[in-house]
C-alpha cells in the first residue's frame, strides 16, 4: 500500500508536468496571436490585399504588435481588414498613420505594416479606421518594368544607329576616330601647343623673376610710385590740353575762326585766287624778261651750261 502511494505522486508529477507543458505551449502560441492580454482593434480598407491571411502579423516599425483578425468584403472592390493589436502600443499609433501590405522576406508570409504619419498627435481609437496604401504588387512592378524595357530598347537602337554613323559616316567625329592624317595633324597641333605652353612657362618664369621689369612693375612699390607720378603728370598735361582745346573752340580766336567761320573761309579762298593770278602774271613778266635784250645774255649762258652738263653726262655713260 505504501509503495502504491509512492508511485502515485510520480504519476501526479508526470500528469501535471505534461499538462503544464501543453498549457504553456497553448498560452505562448495564443500570446503570439494576441489571444490573451489587453488588445484593441483597428480597421483599414483595401482594394486588394495581395493574399493577406487571417493570422498574419501586423508590424509597427518592424516590431510585431498584433495580427490580422478578420478580412471581409464590404463591396465588390473593397475589402476591410480587421487587426488585433496589443493595447500597450496604442499610444504610438496616431490617427494619420497608414498601413501597407508587405511581405516577410522574399517568399515569406504577407505582413501588414503600420507606418507612422507626420502631423497628427491624436491617438487612434478602438475599432478606428486608418488609411491604407495599396501594396506594390508584382503586376505593377512588371508594368513599370515593361515601360523601362521599351525605353531601353529605343535607346539601344538609337545608340546602335549613332555608332554606325560614327563608324561609317564622313562627319568630323568619324574623321577624328578613323582618319590617320587628321589624327596626325591633331598630334602636331598638340605638339605646337605643348611648345607654346613651354615657352609660356619660360616667359612666366621670367616674368616672375624678381629683377625683371614686369615683376618689378607688379611688385616694387617704388616703381608703382613713379608710375603713379608719371600718370598724375600725364593727367595734368591732359588737363592743360583740355584747356587749350577749350580756348581753340572759343570763337574769338583766329584758329577757331579758321576752323569754323564761313566768311573767313571765303576770304581765304579769294586771297588764294588772287595769289594764283598774281603768280601767273609774274610768270608772264619773267617770259617777257627772257626776250628782253638786256637780260637775253644771262638766259643764253644758262642754256649753254645746261648743254655742257648733258654732254659730260653722255661721255661718262659711254665710258
Q: Please tell me whether residue 32 binds another protein under the rule CB under 8 A.
A: yes
Q: Please tell me whether residue 116 binds another protein under the rule CB under 8 A.
A: no
Q: Binding another protein by CB under 8 A: which of 2, 21, 104, 221?
A: 21
Q: Please tell me whether residue 15 binds another protein under the rule CB under 8 A.
A: yes
Q: Which is nearer to another protein, 26 or 193 (CB)?
A: 26
Q: Please tell me whether residue 176 binds another protein under the rule CB under 8 A.
A: no
Q: Which is nearer to another protein, 23 or 295 (CB)?
A: 23
Least CB distance to another protein at residue 32 (A): 6
Greatest alpha-carbon pair distance for the chain in Å reads 201
Q: Torsion over CA of 151, 156, 157 and 162, rounded to 10 degrees? A: 130
Q: Which of residues 37-96 bind another protein (CB under 8 A)?
A: 55
Q: Please tell me whether residue 30 binds another protein under the rule CB under 8 A.
A: yes
Q: Which is nearer to another protein, 19 or 186 (CB)?
A: 19
Q: Binding another protein by CB under 8 A: which of 2, 4, 121, 252?
A: 4
Least CB distance to another protein at residue 103 (A): 15
Using a 10 angstrom Cβ sphere, with 0-12 exposed, 13-18 middle and 19 or more buried, the burial of residue 205 is exposed
> Helix, strand or coil for residue 18?
helix
Q: Which is nearer to another protein, 17 or 313 (CB)?
A: 17
Q: Which is nearer to another protein, 4 or 319 (CB)?
A: 4
Q: Binding another protein by CB under 8 A: which of 18, 189, 213, 267?
A: 18
Q: Which is nearer to another protein, 19 or 149 (CB)?
A: 19
Contacting range for another protein; rule: CB under 8 A; set: 7-15, 134-142, 175-183, 296-304: 7-15
Among 115, 73, 77, residue whose Cα is nearest residue 93? 115
Instruction: Give the integer Cα–Cα distance in Å for 238 and 241.
Output: 5
Using a 10 angstrom Cβ sphere, with 0-12 exposed, 13-18 middle and 19 or more buried, the burial of residue 92 is middle
Q: Please tell me whether residue 267 binds another protein under the rule CB under 8 A.
A: no
Instruction: Give the integer Cα–Cα distance in Å for 168 and 162.
Output: 10
Q: Please tell me whether residue 8 binds another protein under the rule CB under 8 A.
A: yes
Q: Which is nearer to another protein, 107 or 154 (CB)?
A: 107
Cell 624678381, residue? Answer: 210
Q: Whats the size of the chain, residue-wise?
A: 319
Residue 94's H or E segment, with its range, is none
Residue 213's H or E segment, with its range, is helix 213-219
Q: Find all residues with CB under 8 Å of 241, minimum gap 6, and list them.
A: none
Instruction: Give the integer Cα–Cα distance in Å for 111 and 103.
Output: 5
Q: Binding another protein by CB under 8 A: which of 2, 14, 166, 168?
A: 14
- Residues binding another protein (CB under 8 A): 4, 7-8, 10-11, 14-15, 17-19, 21-22, 25-26, 28-30, 32-33, 55
Amino acid at each position: 500500500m505504501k509503495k502504491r502511494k509512492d508511485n502515485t505522486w510520480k504519476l501526479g508529477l508526470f500528469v501535471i508536468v505534461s499538462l503544464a507543458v501543453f498549457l504553456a505551449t497553448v498560452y505562448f502560441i495564443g500570446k503570439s496571436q494576441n489571444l490573451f492580454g489587453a488588445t484593441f482593434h483597428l480597421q483599414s480598407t483595401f482594394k486588394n490585399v495581395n493574399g493577406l491571411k487571417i493570422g498574419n502579423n501586423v508590424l509597427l516599425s518592424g516590431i510585431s504588435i498584433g495580427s490580422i483578425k478578420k478580412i471581409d468584403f464590404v463591396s465588390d472592390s473593397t475589402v476591410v481588414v480587421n487587426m488585433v493589436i496589443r493595447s500597450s502600443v496604442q499610444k504610438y499609433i496616431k490617427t494619420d498613420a497608414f498601413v501597407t501590405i508587405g511581405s516577410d522576406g522574399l517568399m515569406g508570409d504577407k505582413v501588414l505594416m503600420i507606418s507612422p504619419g507626420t502631423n497628427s498627435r491624436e491617438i487612434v481609437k478602438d475599432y478606428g479606421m486608418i488609411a491604407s496604401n495599396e501594396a506594390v504588387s508584382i503586376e505593377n512592378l512588371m508594368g513599370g518594368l515593361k515601360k523601362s524595357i521599351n525605353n531601353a530598347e529605343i535607346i539601344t537602337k538609337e545608340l546602335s544607329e549613332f555608332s554606325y554613323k560614327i563608324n561609317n559616316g564622313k562627319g568630323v567625329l568619324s574623321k577624328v576616330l578613323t582618319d590617320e592624317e587628321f589624327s596626325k595633324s591633331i598630334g602636331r597641333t598638340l605638339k605646337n601647343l605643348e611648345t607654346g605652353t613651354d615657352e609660356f612657362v619660360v616667359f612666366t618664369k621670367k616674368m616672375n623673376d624678381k629683377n625683371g621689369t614686369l615683376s618689378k612693375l607688379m611688385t616694387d612699390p617704388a616703381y608703382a610710385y613713379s608710375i603713379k607720378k608719371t600718370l598724375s603728370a600725364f593727367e595734368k598735361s591732359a588737363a592743360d590740353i583740355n584747356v587749350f582745346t577749350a580756348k581753340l573752340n572759343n570763337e574769338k580766336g583766329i584758329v577757331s575762326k579758321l576752323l569754323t567761320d564761313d566768311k573767313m573761309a571765303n576770304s581765304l579762298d579769294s586771297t588764294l585766287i588772287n595769289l594764283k593770278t598774281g603768280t601767273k602774271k609774274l610768270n608772264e613778266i619773267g617770259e617777257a624778261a627772257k626776250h628782253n635784250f638786256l637780260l637775253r645774255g644771262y638766259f643764253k649762258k644758262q642754256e649753254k651750261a645746261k648743254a655742257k652738263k648733258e654732254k659730260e653726262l653722255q661721255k661718262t655713260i659711254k665710258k
